[in-house]
C-alpha cells in the first residue's frame, strides 16, 4: 500500500482533489489531500512545506503529487523527508533563486497562453475568466460547486520568496501535463521542463484541472507511475 499525498495549486484547497481521492483509495492506498495556508499573509514556501511534511507524518512509500503552484513547494518537501516519487501535474517548475512572481515573465507564460489561444481560434477575454481558462472541460455540476465556494484567496508571500534549493532534489520525478491546458499549454511546458529539469513531459487529455475533469484517467496514470518508478 502506498501513501498518496496530494498538493493543490493556488488557493491551497484540498477540495480540488475530492474526485481523485476515492479512486485512489479504491485501489487500496492511503490518500491525504493537503489544505495549504494560502490565505495566511505570513505563510511562505517553508510554511507550506511544513504543512505537507506534517501531513506525511513519517509515512513511507510516499507518492507526492503537486498541482500547478504546488510545484514550487513539493520539491522542498522531497529535500526534507523521504519521498518515493514526485509527480508534477500541470505544475510550475522553479529555478534556484527565482521567485514565483518572476517565473511568469522568465518562462514567457502569458505569450504562450495567447499563442495557444490563437492556434485554437479562441480570443482571450479582456478580463481573466475562471470558467474559460480553468473549467472549460470540467463537468458543469463540479464547476458550479467550485465557484459556489468563492474564488480562493492566495496570499502573495510565496510568490515573493526566492526558491531556496540549490538544485532539484534526487527524488525520482515525472511530469504529467494536460494537453488541453489553456493556462500552461503543453508545448510551453515541454520547453520549460526540458530546460529546467531535462526530463520529458507526459501528456493526457484534459485542461489545467484534470483532477476535476478526468479523475479516473488521472488515477490510472498515477498508478502506472507508482508501479514503474516507486521503490
What pLDDT, on a 0 to 100 scale, did the predictor assign at position 16?
98
CB 181 within 8 A of CB 90: yes
Pick the CATH number of 3-229 from 3.40.50.300, 3.40.50.1820, 3.40.309.10, 3.30.70.660: 3.40.50.1820
What span, in angstroms and rounded, lies between the C-alpha atoms of 228 and 208? Answer: 25
What pLDDT, on a 0 to 100 scale, did the predictor assign at position 128?
87
CB 66 within 8 A of CB 74: yes
The one-character DSSP state at 153 is P
The domains of the chain are located at 3-229
pTM of the model as a whole: 0.97
Closest CA relative to residue 110, chosen from 188, 218, 14: 188
Each residue's pLDDT tens digit, 34-70: 999 999 999 999 999 999 999 999 999 999 999 999 9
Q: Which ranges of 120-185 would DSSP assign to H, the alpha helix?
A: 130-133, 140-148, 157-160
What span, in angstroms and rounded, lies between the C-alpha atoms of 18 and 13? Answer: 10
The one-character DSSP state at 99 is B
Task: Calculate what percentage of the chain has a pLDDT beyond 90.
Answer: 94
Each residue's pLDDT tens digit, 142-173: 999 999 999 889 999 999 999 999 999 999 99
Closest CA relative to residue 116, chosen from 55, 170, 53, 179: 179
Amino acid at each position: 500500500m502506498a501513501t498518496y499525498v496530494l498538493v493543490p495549486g493556488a488557493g491551497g484547497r484540498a477540495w480540488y482533489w475530492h474526485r481523485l481521492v476515492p479512486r485512489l483509495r479504491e485501489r487500496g492506498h492511503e490518500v491525504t489531500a493537503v489544505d495549504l495556508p494560502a490565505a495566511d499573509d505570513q505563510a511562505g514556501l517553508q510554511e507550506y512545506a511544513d504543512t505537507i511534511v506534517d501531513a506525511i507524518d513519517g509515512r513511507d512509500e510516499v507518492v507526492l503529487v503537486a498541482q500547478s503552484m504546488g510545484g514550487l513547494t513539493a520539491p522542498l518537501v522531497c529535500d526534507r523527508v523521504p519521498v518515493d516519487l514526485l509527480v508534477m501535474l500541470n505544475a510550475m517548475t522553479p529555478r534556484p533563486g527565482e521567485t514565483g512572481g518572476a517565473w511568469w515573465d522568465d518562462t514567457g507564460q502569458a505569450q504562450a497562453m495567447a499563442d495557444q489561444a490563437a492556434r485554437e481560434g479562441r480570443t482571450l477575454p479582456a478580463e481573466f475568466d475562471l470558467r474559460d481558462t480553468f473549467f472549460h472541460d470540467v463537468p458543469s455540476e463540479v464547476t458550479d460547486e467550485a465557484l459556489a465556494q468563492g474564488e480562493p484567496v492566495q496570499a502573495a508571500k510565496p510568490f515573493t520568496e526566492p526558491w531556496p534549493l540549490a538544485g532539484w532534489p534526487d527524488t525520482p520525478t515525472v511530469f504529467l501535463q494536460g494537453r488541453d491546458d489553456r493556462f500552461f499549454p503543453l508545448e510551453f511546458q515541454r520547453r520549460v521542463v526540458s530546460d529546467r529539469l531535462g526530463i520529458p513531459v507526459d501528456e493526457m487529455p484534459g485542461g489545467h484541472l484534470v483532477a476535476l475533469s478526468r479523475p479516473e484517467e488521472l488515477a490510472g496514470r498515477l498508478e502506472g507511475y507508482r508501479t514503474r518508478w516507486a521503490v
